[in-house]
Structure 1
Amino acid sequence: MSLRIFFLCLISCVVLDVFGQVKTLETTSISVRENINLGWRYHKGPVKHQPSSAQWSAHGWEEVSLPHSYALTSINLDNSTDDKSQQTFHRDISFYQRTLNISGRPDSKVYLEFEGAHQKTRLWVNGQYVGEHAVGAYTPFHFDISEFVALGQTNTLTLELDNRRNKQIPPDGHTADYVLFGGLYRDVYLNVLDPLHFTFDWDSNTSGIFVSTPAVTKKDATVTVRSEVVNADKKPRKFYVQTYIVDQQAVVIKRKRTEHTLDSGATRLVKHTTGIDENLQLWSPDSPYLYKVVSQVLNEEGKVLHSKTNPLGIRKFELVLNKGLLLNGEPIEIIGANRHQHFPYIGDAVPNNLHRLDALKFKRSGMNLVRLAHYPHDNAFLQACDELGLIVVEEPPTWIGMGDELWMARLEEAARRMIRNHRNHPSVLGWGAGINHRGTIKRLHYAAKEEDPTRISMNNGTLWTGEQHSGITDLYAVMDYRGAKRQADDLLFAMEHSGSTDSLSLQEIVSRYKGDPNLIGLASWSAHDSQSFIKRDEQYPNLSVWQAASWDAFRLPKPNYYWYQSELTSEPMVHIADVRGQFEQQVQVFTNASEIELLHNDRPVGRFKATRGAQNEHLNSPSILVPFHWQSGTLTALAYHSDGKRVVAKHQRTKGNDAAKLEVTFDTDMTADGFDITADGSSIILAYAKVTDQQGGLIDKDTPEVRFELQGHGQIVGDKSIGANPVTWRNGHAPVMIRVGTKATVLTLTAHSEGLQSGSASLTLNASGEAQSKHDATRLLDPLTLNVDFGNHEQHPQENFYVWSHQSGNDARTLTADNGQPVKVALSGSSEPLHWDNTWGVPGDLSFLIEDGINNTNGQPITLHFSQLPQGQYELKTWHHMLSDDGDAIRPLRFTSQHSKNAQSVSQYRPTFGKRIAITEAGGGERGDGGSNKGAAGFALHTFTVNEQGKASLSMAAPKGNQQVRLNGFRLSQLTPGAVDDI
């Protein structure tokens, strides 16, 4: 049996914008969250008078923007002679002051929000003391300044930051292999809120918004959004809490709203649980799909009072003995490195664009894991990991030492705030529940489980002290510098491991871990060279140059970076190692191809493959060691396709002779597509001057002194006093850092060095365009979706479908779509009434939909009439489940569109069927079986356009006079621009 389905769309011929009438939700709240990084004044050191004193003055203070360090420092930390207890470096008080006009209603609540500050913070507003934060330097906090500000007037904010050594604030009071740089080093926000609002995420273990996924399969996921609302008004308030789940095109796919009443001064915990059961997109490093959760507080009239947006990545991590770490049911080996947050010159005062740059470099190396050492990192880095697909493990701020009870209480509080702040990031695999080197701390494990039972805890142990197993934590996370072994019932994660600058020993340990599923992954120490007072480098004692590092301190790649890329990425690549990865009688080449050809000065050296043995047997791409004594000239490496014929990648490296010129380049990752550089006054750009010979061959050794000049709206970070400009550096590269201004501009950077030809390069900065909005103003599209299940009065309703029941005859109704839009739908036959029937006992995913429906017994059309539709483009799915004793009698269906060029349908469609069988004594009548599972999946798909009249009609008819037409139900969906490509 075949059907011809055609559309009679009652529309005009011209449609100006088929998506113009998709419902757009009002998400802009009356509350304000404003970034206030610009316009601060700064004073280093103590002051004579307190901010509450009449003699207080900020006259002559330095003008600065945030993030800001206590002081710019040299790569050798100003030649400080401190040991790893950091007795003097940046151990001082500093002051920051900013004036701000604060607008709001008389009952507004005003909060000053900090992402972090080193390390004890005191606040005054308009000369009045507000309070102190002393939990630590690495977690967020806020002050309620409502009673101290004058709304509509200029207010003065004054901060004292105390970074002096303090044995009661973790990780301080002990030794560390990292530096506690002073300063107001993370973003600061002003919040002006309605008295009825969401609490801050870090307030308590019930506060803020917590998004979790209690159940995840490859087809569906359950999502729970827990939010806490406070009523700081003087009277009880009625309100709504609204939750939206939206996809990457900002289209609402789920919504939930509940009504509440809250007394003055009270809080309310609200839980909304829903799910995604169609077209589910899972999050993984290979496909980091992100939904969003938009949470809103609305007043009785429906006005949005407070709106917050959180990422939602649907994924499921599992630890399974002898299978390892499973992500969404599939084994995954996590391979990456440890990261410190600091950069040269600026210390911890890293702007958001550099946090994102670090994440991007991890991703392009092929790594899928970052361990955040040894403290909570910036929100911007976690956000980048979510978006790029990097798995994160995070830990509270410690190294080895432990303090007294107050110190431990603050460490536990720092751990709890870390979890509350970052629990909604899908990139986070788990939390450190120990003290680095010492292993498990039970109170940290229990705190982690209390705050976030959805994630694993890790013990942070070593091989030379403490428990040699996971203990009460979920995962044995250990430093593997001495050949770590696991116990029979443990899985093992090398949270740190060593390597070598030439990459060979790094390859050995990675191979060992890849060969055993119970060794779930490893993170090298470290991602980049970092600063400490352990005195590891002869030239720069306060710079730690790590053998396993993939980048130097300025994020210039080392040989290990290219080996990771060859092992962990699929885009064809080949790279000849620089001098740090070469040997006297061998040339090391990294590639993910199976074979290379090496040429010297365009003369063939030969074709080569990697040599495999016990030390690298589990690797995808061991490096290729070519027997060749390279003293001068140019090497060319050609990587071949597996067919041995086609060249898929090429790389050249020349040994420079005499230094002749400078070549200037901006960081290539920073200037790549998808990395927006805006003139926001805070961002920093990395650039380099390469020292080459006349032919462009790199002079791969320490550079001469290079001086940079900059034209355009920006400023070079540092000067001669800290060795930043002019600068000398290593491996033929002289680095420079540029802080952007606040105007769109072209930056032109020129490098000079005595006796060398100067070089220059330019970069365009985009206008910020108020990029950091004061409001959470996510634009959400809420398209119309209408589900209808046809059947007689005995039908079983299909869940989430409107049940349209009738014994016979025509019908018309006004229905309400999922987004609240009313739609008028009429159903008709032609000259005779339609026949409504039902069966039961049909298996399948949409069994209740397909077990009953409408038949046209005389072969006449069934017609659906729609009116009151918003103008736009629509998709209509129709289900046609047939009952027949002979499946072969049901022919494939061909659909045509005779009456509208805008209508589209699938060209082939086969309706499903089930054989009629007798019902047992359990009941009477007839039911279908057999192919009904196919019926649940089978549907016809049509698209059409509706103009401003809002009408369309769909007729279904058989091509031959007396053939039956059956309709079980339909789904009408308004399309959005992002959905068109999915048709």
Structure 2
Amino acid sequence: MRYFTLFFTLLLLFAGCSAETEPSEFDDPTTLNFNKGWEFVKDIDPNVSDEYFDRNSSIEWEMVSLPHTANIEPLVISDQQWQGDVFYRKFFEIDRDQAGKQFALRFHGAMHEADVWLNGEMIQKHKGGYLPFVVDITDQVEVDRENVLLVKLNNENNPTIPPGKPIETLDFNWFSGLYRNVDLLVNEKLQISDPIAADRVSAGGVLVNYTDVTDESATINIQTDIENFDSTSRNAVLKTVLRDHSGMKIAERSTDEQPISAGDHHLFQHEIEVEEPNLWSPDSPYLYELTIELHENGEAIDFWQKRIGIRTMSFTEDHQFVLNGKPLQLRGTNRHQSYPYIGYALSENAQFRDAYKIKEAGFNFIRIAHYPPDPAFLEAADELGLLFMNAIPGWQFFGDEEFQELALRDVREMIRRDRNHPSIVIWEASLNESDMPESFMERAHDIVHEELPFEGIYSSGWIDHAYDIFIPARQHASPPEYWASYPQEKPLFIAEYGDWEYYAHNAGFNQDAYEDLQEEERNSRQLRGDGQVRMAQQALNFQEAHNSNLQGWAFGDANWVMYDYNRGYDVNLEASGIRDIFRLPKFTNYFYQSQGGPNPDPNAEFNRPMIYIANFWSDPDFKTVKIYSNTEEVELFLNGKSLGRKNPDIDRVSTHLNHPPFTFDIEEFEPGILRAVGYINGEVVTEAERTTPGEAAAIELEYDRSGRELEAGQNDVVFVYASIVDENGTTIPNAEPDVQFEVEGDGELIGYNPIEAEAGIATVLLKVGESDGEITLRAFSDGLRSDEYQVIVN
């Protein structure tokens, strides 16, 4: 804090020297990261006493930083996950030169009932674990002396707090801890208000919308809510600056001086005309930089900045989705935010890596399941070009009056937090698969339009009543038509498919091709370790269902689910993910990847020409070779001999796909090398090989970058993979030895160690510490050559 005044002065000095072509270098000195220097304890008396605020008490506090989980869970939570009371505390000082300012704390995610004390005084209670809350500490904080902040969290079952349903009967887990960031807000009494703390309809903070958007021009409408917490009137001037993606200034607006009375607020309106705008879309997620400065007496006293995207959305008369005036079919997935072991306590980089994999898998849309995500995940969706359906917490539960009021509050606060993200096109103001009365649905729908009174705003719900968009799961209708005959009363989106209808055996019309499979092998819940035949069955199920969805009127669909995850009501993982809980891909991942593109640009990051051989070529009884590719033709070679060049499949489960797979039935199994070559316009554009694995010989280490390198000082976590390979470097898909990991440097390993490899790969989590530099990873297994890997931390 002693550096705050100097930094603030320097910021003003540099702001006064900016040139029209000078790029922005923004760092908001009024919002300070409060993640470090916390102490943590659990399993103590939940009744707070003076001892909890005493540095010299007998309580053994553990030093932690955020994001943090209160309990490291098993890989597979076969018993109910940990629940109970935990405490976090933090000692901090406010410099004397900050006296007279407004101080607040913003908790981005605290699971899920919080009591907050400052200097021994209880100052706020909050219910809800998925959205932020703000605690004004101005009257309690002491200047130029040590303050002690104490936060008590309880994550036990509570039917008044959405999602409300007890964990032991819930299809996911809500975990524990201060699992998202905490900010210290240090503001002048005159300030840009916080949209959550302000609690004003369609106001608070900054609200951006777009009108008259064409390829030639667009109007950005910016509303900024300025609040005066002082006891006297203050005079405000607002300066708004728009920059392009490189930070170069392209427009600037300033207001006249506006007096704001004590305890009052004022809404400033700015319009910025942009000529030849770069419109945001999944293929071109162009982001502008919008900066707002609040000035008083010629000095900048508050700041706000966000990347924004200019775009429009609408629906045609037959309810097809239109983005920027062009029809677009949405191809999506659902995602739970949990990691193994650490639950929800993901770093911002880990959030980005999850989004990156979704984009990499060929999707252009995410339906979040079933609660608002971390803001960093939405920032990633904006940056990567992933359209988004945001959702309030809820699943198969409808509670009492307090529950309902909190759920409706969640609708408002979700919108107020996330309304400026270009990625969000649909607001799921519905309690998923819950029996909601019409009055609740009508109120939730109305709130969406009260908070966002603009064109191109759409609510959604799983019941076809009040909402703008109907979002049933595929299994909510009956086979064989499912939703193909929906009467088009409103836009239709299939929010979940590919799992339950197969698990319940009321679908799967192509499963006679696998008549020898046992019952548990015939559904979509297949682990990587269940083998290639069962992963092929899962991929076929998703292909069949997606192809069927495309035959109806739905403007898009989202499979269930992207990643395997723990759930409260079952002792097993939910294994219908197209990637496993460690984010390793199954065959289905590549089916979806093949549905995107092909983008011929050699510099393209996503949707390039691709090809994948969905057969390990290791089992003489499994000679069907399915190839997923977005090319026009595929030629397959076995040990250098061509087995033919084929066009995409023409069959009942491929009729409406962007890119049907290619199927080769090989008469005789011959160990060796399968090589698949993809052609577009007769030219080779991509190749892939699959080699029959030999005997296990060594370990090969790597870690999951997915668009983000490791970053020190952020509680960053990545998956470390140890592949069991033969002498040629081929992963052994049935290898299951125990693997021991070691780390040297400023990092720690989280998870079972040693751990048994699954389908030839053993995985552990690496969490990096405060220091940049080099971390050394090692992996060992009896009878195999060990491996060592150097990780560079920035």
After TM superposition, is the score higher than 0.5?
yes
For residue 559 of structure 2, the aligned residue among 524, 534, 537 is 524
On the 8 A contact 1:658/1:693 being kept in 2, the answer is yes
| 1:26 Cα deviation after fit | 9.5
| 1:414 Cα deviation after fit | 1.2
Find the residue that maps to 2:196 and give its secondary structure: coil
Structure 1 regions of 5+ residues with no counterpart? 1-18, 83-88, 462-466, 536-540, 719-723, 767-983
1:92 pairs with 2:84: yes
1:140 aligned residue: 132
1:288 aligned residue: 285
1:589 to 1:340, Cα distance in 2 relative to 1, 3 A: same
On the 8 A contact 1:311/1:426 being kept in 2, the answer is no
| 1:260 Cα deviation after fit | 0.7
Q: Compare 498-507 and 757-766 and name the one that shifted more.
A: 498-507
For residue 658 of structure 2, the aligned residue among 601, 620, 625 is 620
1:698 to 1:676, Cα distance in 2 relative to 1, 3 A: closer
How do 1:542-941 residues align onto structure 2 when only pairs under 5 Å count? Answer: 542-546=572-576, 549-570=577-598, 571-578=608-615, 584-628=622-666, 633-644=671-682, 646-670=683-707, 675-701=708-734, 703-718=736-751, 724-766=752-794
Find the residue that maps to 2:473 and give its secondary structure: strand
CA distance in 2, matches of 1:335, 1:328: 17
Find the residue that maps to 2:755 and give its secondary structure: coil
CA distance in 1, matches of 2:24, 2:459: 42
Which residue identity is paired with 1:663?
A: E
1:913 aligned residue: none
| 1:360 Cα deviation after fit | 0.7
On the 8 A contact 1:29/1:305 being kept in 2, the answer is no
CA distance in 1, matches of 2:488, 2:736: 52
CA distance in 2, matches of 1:592, 1:91: 47
How do 1:154-193 residues align onto structure 2 when only pairs under 5 Å count? Answer: 154-174=146-166, 175-193=169-187
2:568 aligned residue: 533
2:383 aligned residue: 387
| 1:30 Cα deviation after fit | 8.4
1:353 aligned residue: 349
Name the structure where strand makes up a greater proportion of residues. Answer: 1
CA distance in 1, matches of 2:24, 2:640: 65
Which residue identity is paired with 1:534?
A: Y
1:439-486, Cα deviation, whole Å (9 max, x unpaired)? 67222111111112345444432xxxxx5x3x2211111101242241
CA distance in 2, matches of 1:395, 1:367: 19
CA distance in 2, matches of 1:600, 1:30: 59
How do 1:415-454 residues align onto structure 2 when only pairs under 5 Å count? Answer: 415-438=411-434, 441-454=441-454
On the 8 A contact 2:24/2:248 being kept in 1, the answer is no
CA distance in 2, matches of 1:435, 1:663: 45
1:488 pairs with 2:519: no
2:602 aligned residue: none
On the 8 A contact 2:617/2:691 being kept in 1, the answer is no
1:397 aligned residue: 393
Find the residue that maps to 1:562 and give its secondary structure: helix
For residue 126 of structure 1, the aligned residue among 119, 123, 143 is 119
- The TM-score, its normalising length taken from structure 2, stands at 0.86
How do 1:92-111 residues align onto structure 2 when only pairs under 5 Å count? Answer: 92-103=84-95, 104-111=97-104
Name the structure where helix makes up a greater proportion of residues. Answer: 2
| 1:314 Cα deviation after fit | 0.6
On the 8 A contact 1:53/1:127 being kept in 2, the answer is no
CA distance in 1, matches of 2:663, 2:350: 35
1:509 pairs with 2:545: yes
Which residue identity is paired with 2:182?
A: V
| 1:75 Cα deviation after fit | 1.0
Which residue identity is paired with 1:597?
A: E
For residue 42 of structure 1, the aligned residue among 19, 40, 43 is 40
1:29 to 1:350, Cα distance in 2 relative to 1, 3 A: closer
How do 1:226-265 residues align onto structure 2 when only pairs under 5 Å count? Answer: 226-258=223-255, 259-265=257-263
CA distance in 2, matches of 1:264, 1:757: 72
- The TM-score, its normalising length taken from structure 1, stands at 0.70
CA distance in 2, matches of 1:115, 1:397: 15
1:520-544, Cα deviation, whole Å (9 max, x unpaired)? 0000000111110332xxxxx3311
1:321 to 1:133, Cα distance in 2 relative to 1, 3 A: same
1:49 to 1:619, Cα distance in 2 relative to 1, 3 A: closer
On the 8 A contact 1:513/1:520 being kept in 2, the answer is no
1:308 aligned residue: 304
1:329 aligned residue: 325
CA distance in 2, matches of 1:741, 1:577: 38
Which residue identity is paired with 1:50?
A: V
Find the residue that maps to 1:304 and give its secondary structure: strand
1:860 aligned residue: none
CA distance in 1, matches of 2:748, 2:729: 29
2:461 aligned residue: 460
Find the residue that maps to 2:404 and give its secondary structure: helix
On the 8 A contact 1:209/1:227 being kept in 2, the answer is yes
Find the residue that maps to 1:567 and give its secondary structure: coil
1:446 to 1:54, Cα distance in 2 relative to 1, 3 A: closer
Find the residue that maps to 1:366 and give its secondary structure: coil
| 1:390 Cα deviation after fit | 0.3
Find the residue that maps to 2:83 and give its secondary structure: coil
Structure 2 regions of 5+ residues with no counterpart? 1-16, 500-523, 525-534, 599-607
CA distance in 1, matches of 2:384, 2:757: 31
1:51 to 1:263, Cα distance in 2 relative to 1, 3 A: farther
On the 8 A contact 1:225/1:272 being kept in 2, the answer is yes
On the 8 A contact 1:28/1:304 being kept in 2, the answer is no
On the 8 A contact 2:426/2:460 being kept in 1, the answer is no
| 1:28 Cα deviation after fit | 6.9
On the 8 A contact 1:31/1:193 being kept in 2, the answer is no
1:835-875, Cα deviation, whole Å (9 max, x unpaired)? xxxxxxxxxxxxxxxxxxxxxxxxxxxxxxxxxxxxxxxxx
Find the residue that maps to 1:417 and give its secondary structure: helix
Which residue identity is paired with 2:630?
A: N
Structure with the bigger RCO (C-alpha within 8 Å, sep 6+) is 1
Which residue identity is paired with 1:640?
A: G
On the 8 A contact 2:319/2:488 being kept in 1, the answer is no
On the 8 A contact 2:319/2:490 being kept in 1, the answer is no
On the 8 A contact 1:480/1:497 being kept in 2, the answer is yes
Which residue identity is paired with 1:108?
A: K
On the 8 A contact 1:237/1:261 being kept in 2, the answer is yes
1:588-624, Cα deviation, whole Å (9 max, x unpaired)? 1111122222222333333233221343122232111
1:54-76, Cα deviation, whole Å (9 max, x unpaired)? 88537421121211111111111
On the 8 A contact 1:587/1:629 being kept in 2, the answer is no
1:426 to 1:48, Cα distance in 2 relative to 1, 3 A: closer
Q: Percent identity?
A: 31
CA distance in 2, matches of 1:48, 1:531: 28
1:727 to 1:246, Cα distance in 2 relative to 1, 3 A: same
| 1:31 Cα deviation after fit | 4.9
On the 8 A contact 2:638/2:674 being kept in 1, the answer is yes
2:531 aligned residue: none
| 1:115 Cα deviation after fit | 0.6
